[in-house]
Structure 1
Amino acid sequence: MSGPNNPYNGSFGGGLHGTVNLGGQSAAPAAAGSDVIKDTTTSAFGRDVIEESKTQPVLVDFWAPWCGPCRQLAPVIEKVVKEAAGKVKLVKLNIDDHPAIPGQLGIQSIPAVVAFVGGQPVDGFMGAVPESQIRQFIDKLGGAGGAGDEQAEIDAALDEAQTLLDAGDINSAGQLFGAVLQHAPENPRAVAGIARCMIEAGQHERARDLLSSLPEETAKDAGIQAILKQIAQIEEARKLGDPAALEHMLALSPDDHESRIKLAKIRNVEGRRDEAADHLLLIMRKDRTYGDDLARKELVQFFETWGPKDPATIAARRKMSSILFS
């Protein structure tokens, strides 16, 4: 399995399981009479997995009845395996009833899927990954593709994870970023994605700790540096006072630029980006010389953490240009 000791295993998903619906029934059982999907036990593992994988690839789905993402993955992976028409088999192991095997394999969080070929574990993934990624995983087991195809798969998974994050689905995004890290533990986009998920979940301290442990070269990545700046902005904003009090001060004294900059910084970390930008743009209109052009400099810092394609960046850049070049 790729990266069984990956330090990012469960670092995000495990911390958020409280937000996932974990209660209720067990994962969906295999279809009755199916010869490509079956449940196994500790005693039958050698026969069902080790021996069987000597004739064709076997996927082992490690799950538990309390695991919400396991229930999400089960019907998807079963569907793909059935449609593979005998290309692979799927064996399901309940880790609550049979903990010995996952313990020996170093399974640290679930759902986890390990592929066995020739009696040995050769690859794997974690989390409730999308159907397209499962298909690609099975195709790769069959010998399809090479390094270029694998990189294309990673890039596609990262794009999908980013789309999920932008849509506010931080749990699914975090699981997909984590799945990429299983194959590429120092991929900067995946690390940055996990960190952003942590920040969106209100766990910026964990994100800071994660990034502080990165190798020097990875830490130099522009995306990682942008998140470090975002974390610094969050920590600074916590020291700037009560936003309601700042609003009151500005109502009494609209030209109190110091209070307005503080409020802009607070609104930024609250995610109210347009409002944060408008406060700084107002200072630029009134007094470009204030603090040696401080409002513009702060706005540029915001752009670096928001990213060039963020709607708030695009809108604020247009407004800033009209001020600078009018």
Structure 2
Amino acid sequence: MFGMKDSQTAGQGAQAPAGTIVDATDATFMQEVIEASQKVPVIVDFWATWCGPCKTLGPALEDAVAKQGGKVKLVKIDVDANQAYAAQLQVQSIPTVYAFFQGQPVDAFQGALPPSQVQEFVQKLAAMSPEAGAEDEGLAQAIEAADQMLEEGDAAGAAETFAAVLQEEPANAAAYAGLVKAYLALNDIDQAEAVLNGAPAEIAHSPELDAAHAQIALARQAAGAGPVADLEARLEADPADHQARYDLATALHAQGKVAEAVDQLLELFRRDRDWNEGAAKTQLFTIFDALPAKDPVVQSGRRRLSSMIFA
């Protein structure tokens, strides 16, 4: 990572295509990260030459990105020489890694992860890339039909179809995620969680199953959500009651008012982004992860959150 400028030499077991592992500065951040992320996910590694853990994480990131063959880009930023965007993203310790896609931050972590977890992190991002391979057409059509059943309220029929797909392809992440959604629609959270826990190890950290984890977490929160009217009254009496605003967002989401829940969490983030260890941003990412990436609520919410982070 340190002093390495030629991306062709990056990676321990694979060569990265030219331009997929680069050094950047505050001056080139918009071009190398924000603009580039319109095409493929971009990982930003904030590091420094004196940082011991960075010397472990950097090569692991480079190796994982090289293995993806251009589906993901890695941008390395020395925080000693480039402090502007590190400050905007509230980088308080290094290494810190952010992931961007379509101009928005979509994931992040701090500290040096084991190589296996770094591989999982990069693989999840690679799955977002337009270059990622398509599923088998026949199974994809069956999954689409099951999704349509869910939208029309036939959760039981959808569950049968998803289960049939899994008989044909036991490691189909989309079918597993669909089966989880079907059981959640049937108000059987325990069974949904059992299905998720039974997924094969090779897809355990796929984007679809990460979304399913988020959906289950939100479903369990919904079970304890308070009355919306009471929470709205508390906020009207004291707009600075952050807990009431957070609880109101949970209650609104439980009623299916996802956009309204996102609005409340964004307002909480605007008022105090550090409240309860950044609970508003964490909950926003949970909601975003539970929805399709192209959902208008997700796209609008990520855009508004990003504008606050970079303000």
Q: What TM-score does the superposition give when structure 1 sets the normalisation length?
A: 0.49
**Contact 1:281–1:295 (CA under 8 A) maintained in structure 2:** yes
- Amino acid aligned to 1:249: R
Q: What is the aligned partner in structure 1 of residue 238 from structure 2?
A: 253
Q: What is the aligned partner in structure 1 of residue 282 from structure 2?
A: 297
- Separation in 1 of the partners of 2:278 and 2:197? 32
Equivalences for residues 107-122 of structure 1 within 5 A:
none
Number of equivalent positions: 179
- Amino acid aligned to 1:165: L
Q: CA deviation at 1:169?
A: 4.2
* Equivalent of 1:271 in 230, 247, 256: 256
Q: CA deviation at 1:196?
A: 0.4
**Contact 2:214–2:287 (CA under 8 A) maintained in structure 1:** no
Q: What is the aligned partner in structure 2 of residue 232 from structure 1?
A: 217
Q: What is the aligned partner in structure 1 of residue 77 from structure 2?
A: none
- Separation in 2 of the partners of 1:292 and 1:248? 25
Alignment of 1:216 onto 2:208:
no
**Contact 2:176–2:199 (CA under 8 A) maintained in structure 1:** no
Alignment of 1:282 onto 2:267:
yes
- Separation in 2 of the partners of 1:160 and 1:238? 29
- Separation in 1 of the partners of 2:294 and 2:254? 18
The share of aligned pairs that are identical, in percent, is 33
Alignment of 1:175 onto 2:160:
yes
- Separation in 1 of the partners of 2:147 and 2:158? 7
Q: What is the aligned partner in structure 2 of residue 123 from structure 1?
A: none
Q: CA deviation at 1:172?
A: 4.1
- Separation in 2 of the partners of 1:154 and 1:160? 10
1:184-206 CA-partner distances (Å, limit 9, x unpaired) = 23422112111101112222221
Q: Would the alpha carbon gap of residues 209 and 164 (structure 1) be closer, same or farther in structure 2, given more than 3 Å must change?
A: same
**Contact 1:261–1:280 (CA under 8 A) maintained in structure 2:** yes
1:280-321 CA-partner distances (Å, limit 9, x unpaired) = 111122233333433222211211111312221112123223
Q: What TM-score does the superposition give when structure 2 sets the normalisation length?
A: 0.51
**Contact 2:149–2:158 (CA under 8 A) maintained in structure 1:** yes
- Amino acid aligned to 1:294: A
Equivalences for residues 75-90 of structure 1 within 5 A:
none
- Amino acid aligned to 1:303: F
1:91-150 CA-partner distances (Å, limit 9, x unpaired) = xxxxxxxxxxxxxxxxxxxxxxxxxxxxxxxxxxxxxxxxxxxxxxxxxxxxxxxxxxx9
Q: What is the aligned partner in structure 1 of residue 301 from structure 2?
A: 316
Q: Would the alpha carbon gap of residues 244 and 157 (structure 1) be closer, same or farther in structure 2, given more than 3 Å must change?
A: same
**Contact 1:264–1:275 (CA under 8 A) maintained in structure 2:** yes
- Separation in 1 of the partners of 2:303 and 2:152? 24
- Look up the SS of the partner of 2:244 in the other structure: helix
- Amino acid aligned to 2:269: M
- Separation in 2 of the partners of 1:186 and 1:289? 39
- Separation in 1 of the partners of 2:254 and 2:212? 12
**Contact 1:250–1:260 (CA under 8 A) maintained in structure 2:** yes
Structure having the higher Rg? 1
- Look up the SS of the partner of 2:136 in the other structure: helix
Unaligned 5+ runs, structure 1: 1-149
- Amino acid aligned to 2:249: A
- Separation in 2 of the partners of 1:262 and 1:212? 28
**Contact 1:237–1:262 (CA under 8 A) maintained in structure 2:** no
Q: Would the alpha carbon gap of residues 205 and 244 (structure 1) be closer, same or farther in structure 2, given more than 3 Å must change?
A: farther
- Separation in 2 of the partners of 1:192 and 1:300? 18
- Separation in 1 of the partners of 2:303 and 2:195? 35
- Amino acid aligned to 2:208: G
